[in-house]
Amino acid sequence: MLQNKVVLITGASKGIGKAIAILFAQQGATVIINYLHSEDSLQQTLQEIKTICPTAIAIQADISKADQVQHLFSEVKKIFGRLDVLINNAGILKDNLILKTEEAEWEAILGTNLKGTFLCTKEAAKIMLLSGGKIINITSVMGLFGNPGQAAYSSSKAGIIGFTKTAAKELGPIGITVNAIAPGLTETEMISYLTIEQRERLLNQTILKRIGQPQEIARVALFLASDLASYVNGQVINVDGGMT
């Protein structure tokens, strides 16, 4: 479904990003993994993907920093000459009540989650101007209905939804579609801190009564990245077991 497509996935050393990278490589894409930390996870992921896609590479960059994002995309253009799909997946989470949230925490979360999405979309669009492309943003159901202790996180994810809809209207006329996926409770390192009680509470809000798997998010990303979604633009697809 993605034969000969060049795909950049931010935050792809583990979790949902890793699942997307592996599935896309299996579907014929040349995969570029962006990462910041987690060197051990990165090497393991890259080895797995290279068995499927020998041309896969990894590029380190902090997507909250404009100069590093510009370098990331200049490397992509220099090495591959094109970019067909961007997955804005990188994100961070730190729970805290509003009254206890420090300004630095707020700025770090919005810097990676929301500003990073903006910076990467801007640079990707420059490369995609002539040939078109697809941009897929990973938001969250928490951006739709909020959650106690996640003011910064839910604000950043709600911002991604608004950004997706505006970018879809600006970039659609030049052949670039922009859509978003809003995962619900998904089995990644990001939820490893949850207590049994917290998991149960979230599961009780999920109609299917189970935690989603990263591969289930990846399959929806594959649809949006493929020609099957050629007329889909400006949409937010909830992949949450019925939570919303």
Which residues are the active-site residues? 153
Per-position DSSP letters for 91-155, written without gaps between them:
-----B-GGG--HHHHHHHHIIIIIHHHHHHHHHHHHHTTT-EEEEEE--THHHH--TTBHHHHH
Backbone angles phi, psi at 99, to 5 degrees: -70, -15
Residue in 230, 78, 226, 93 with CA at minimum distance from that of residue 153: 93
Residues 6+ apart with CB under 8 A from 13: 33, 35, 38, 41, 42, 45, 58
Q: What angle do CA 133, 41, 104 make, to 5 degrees?
A: 80
**Per-residue DSSP letter, 188:** S
